[in-house]
Amino acid sequence: MNPLDEITLTGLRATAFHGVLDHERRDGQVFVIDVTVMLPLGDAATTDDLARTIHYGELAAEVVAAVESNPVDLIETVAERIATVVLAHERAMFTRVTVHKPHAPISVPFDDVSVTITRGRPERLTPTGFSL
């Protein structure tokens, strides 16, 4: 078995103009993103070679750029966009993306609203879920 390891970025912040309401599109708000990438890291650890992993600094910048581009209505769409960016990295096998919208227009007190999705490369998916 070739187990997958994880790189996790927690609490990335991006200001964007996503939302259904006019004021969300006009004024924008901060979105907070958590991304976990599942990939084999044994080669990178053994060789101490950055080329055998995903540069998390570059990935963080790509994720923030994806969030800040092209406003959409739903954070579900934003999460899907981020997953596509992550899986564009050849070494990424699966990703778990959470998009938090801490200033969502909700009329009752709350701490956070978030959407989490898990995606993998199509060749790694089976009818019953993920395969390694």
**In the structure encoding, which two tokens stand for residue 125, read together?**
């998916």
Q: How far is CA 68 from CA 14, 77, 91, 93, in A?
A: 6, 13, 25, 24
| Candidates 96, 100, 101, 119; catalytic one | 101
Active site residue 75: no
Quickly list DSSP for the chain: ----EEEEEEEEEEEE--SSSHHHHHH-EEEEEEEEEEE--HHHHHHT-GGGS--HHHHHHHHHHHHHSS--S-HHHHHHHHHHHHHTSTT--EEEEEEE-TT---SS--S--EEEEEEE-GGGEETTEE--
**What residues are labeled active site?**
101
